[in-house]
Amino acid sequence: MKPELLPLSQAADAIASGAVSPEALLEASLARIRALDGRLHAFLRLTENEARTAAKAATQRRASGKSLGPLDGVPVALKDIFCMEGVETTCGSKILRGYAPPYDATVVRRLKQAGAVIVGKLNMDEFAMGSSTENSAYGPTRNPWDLTRTPGGSSGGSATAVAARLVPGALGTDTGGSIRQPAALVGCAGLKPTYGRVSRFGVIAFASSLDQVGPFAQDVRGVAHLLAAIAGHDPNDQTSSSRPVPDYAAGLDQGVRGLRIGVPREYFGEGLAPEVEKAVRAGIERLRAAGGEVREISLPNSPHAIATYYIVATAEASSNLARYDGVRYGHRAKASQLLEMYEKTRAEGFGAEVKRRIMLGTYVLSAGYYDAYYLRAQKVRALIRRDFDQAFASVDAIVSPTSPTTAFKLGEKMDDPLAMYLSDVYTVPANLAGLPGISVPCGFDSKGLPVGLQLIGKPFDEETLLRIAHAAEPSEHRLPPLAEGR
């Protein structure tokens, strides 16, 4: 297989063995982007000069025996929500067009310190608000398995770039499923770490109590390498944990024998596509055959998760997005008075979905409605977390579908926000509870579209989660038709 088509872990091995140089791998990656991304639209912009400089430095380190680790010389790309010094960062919105941050986000700095070669910035739903990457102000990203379908969202550009082998790895963010759901829809691995495991400094905020940074790769070992590079305490983020960062890749081959895996009955009910259920249950049986102890559990408050999430998340968004007023950075509308400038800037700069969520969030925080909506949602959030705590008293991880359906058609749900929101029905609970979750491929439906299996772990137990995910993932990763040149 060509080096640029290898999963991240194997590409790292190829560099380490001298089979391919970082510079050659970068040029092959850039050639694939130029050949395929016109149809996919995963990238918003490339950082070719910076990438070539980084690849050259990695080649020199390898030659002198001073490698920085498995990511040294490996091409990766970033969702356009991460600040990168001197590089336009729009968060998929017109309101930030032309904004070039004066600093790197902590995760970007840590990738650079690990020797990763950052190739460019990836498309996303505006301010990470969406499940299909159709809310981007710069046009939708397409699914490499079927160009008429969505890759999911909001990190659809990241998922597509990895699935189509444009880059071996990428970073995204997950507020309610925005890593796991697109990973499922394009057939790659995507991890949302425990809240606080990875710094959010320099990440443009959507909902601060829910947002978390995580990696995409073709296989679980690649995810483990990326997580090890970006995890750890950051004094610039008061919510980041000071717990030590383990070697996530070290224990992947230990298997699942003796581990207890819970199957929540609430996640296999109405709305789940039969072909998705069939593939996920087959994945569960593979874990049982590998020695895992599978048992049914209950998460009784999970059916309330979507309603709870869309109160908590929109309330936080309405506060976070108040900073975009045309005064300090980004787009500024022409106006003769200050209030007029505020109104025109936001009307021109924000898309329909962002406006919808800001208005909903402002409403639930308003006098007279705060107790009825926001305070009640926080109480239900506590109940959802308690359900997980009780479940983890008897199991080591929880398994479920990632998405209720495979990839849907572009435009299919744009006029029905509730149907779009329900795409995240199985992923949202982990965000509300602050738990780690990962999606790995587990099969295909009759149309040849990937199905994802979700695993949810205990707080800060990514080691066990990745170990189970490694056992659950397929031994061979099929290439999408577009990536094969078909």
Asked if residues 410 and 132 have their Cβ atoms less than 8 Å apart, the reply is yes
Q: Is the pLDDT of residue 430 over 60?
A: yes
Q: Summarize pLDDT for 379-403 with one digit per residue, the tens.
A: 999 999 999 999 999 999 999 999 9
Band (pLDDT 50/70/90 cuts) for residue 418 is: confident
Strands 293-297 and 397-401: unpaired
Distance of CA 185 to the CA centre of its chain: 12
* Tokens of residue 78, six digits: 């970033």
Phi, psi (5° rounding) for residue 329? -160, 165
Q: Summarize pLDDT for 271-309 with one digit per residue, the tens.
A: 999 999 999 999 999 999 999 999 999 999 999 999 999
* Tokens of residue 331, six digits: 């787009």
Q: Summarize pLDDT for 95-106 with one digit per residue, the tens.
A: 999 999 999 999
Q: Is 112 one of the catalytic residues?
A: no
Question: Which is the catalytic residue, given 9, 21, 29, 79?
Answer: 79
Question: Which is the catalytic residue, given 158, 178, 199, 318?
Answer: 178
Give 32's contacts (C-beta < 8 A, 6+ positions apart).
Answer: 4, 164, 165, 166
Q: Is the pLDDT of residue 378 over 60?
A: yes
Strands 169-173 and 189-192: unpaired
Q: How far is CA 73 from CA 114, 120, 215, in A?
A: 9, 15, 17
Q: Position 331: which residue type? A: H
Instruction: Round to whole Å and give the CA distance between 103 and 108.
Output: 10
Question: Which is the catalytic residue, given 93, 154, 302, 403?
Answer: 154
Instruction: Round to whole Å and give the CA distance between 181 and 120.
Output: 22
Q: Residue 484: what pLDDT?
A: 63
Q: What percent of the chain has pLDDT over 70?
A: 99
Q: Residue 482: what pLDDT?
A: 75
Instruction: Round to whole Å and give the CA distance between 104 and 189.
Output: 25
Q: Residue 486: what pLDDT?
A: 57
Q: Residue 483: what pLDDT?
A: 63
Strands 437-444 and 189-192: antiparallel
Phi, psi (5° rounding) for residue 191? -115, 130
What number of CA atoms fall less than 13 Å from residue 52's CA on the CB side? 6
Average of per-residue pLDDT across 241-262? 96
Q: Is 121 one of the catalytic residues?
A: no
Classify 3-260 by CATH class.
Answer: alpha beta
Band (pLDDT 50/70/90 cuts) for residue 328 is: confident
Give 28's contacts (C-beta < 8 A, 6+ positions apart).
Answer: 2, 3, 4
Q: Residue 20: what pLDDT?
A: 96
Could you give the 3-state DSSP secondary structure of residue 3?
helix
Q: Residue 30: what pLDDT?
A: 97
Q: Is the pLDDT of residue 14 over 90?
A: yes
Average of per-residue pLDDT across 335-354? 95
Average of per-residue pLDDT across 399-413? 97
Q: Is 241 one of the catalytic residues?
A: no
E strand spans, 347-447: 397-401, 437-444
Rounded to the nearest integer, the mean pLDDT of the chain is 96
Instruction: Round to whole Å and give the CA distance between 486 and 473.
Output: 25
Q: Summarize pLDDT for 38-79 with one digit per residue, the tens.
A: 999 999 999 999 999 999 999 999 999 999 999 999 999 999
The ranges assigned to domains in the chain are 3-260
> What is the CB neighbour count within 10 angstroms for residue 119?
26
Cis preceding-peptide flag for 439 (omega within 30 of 0): no
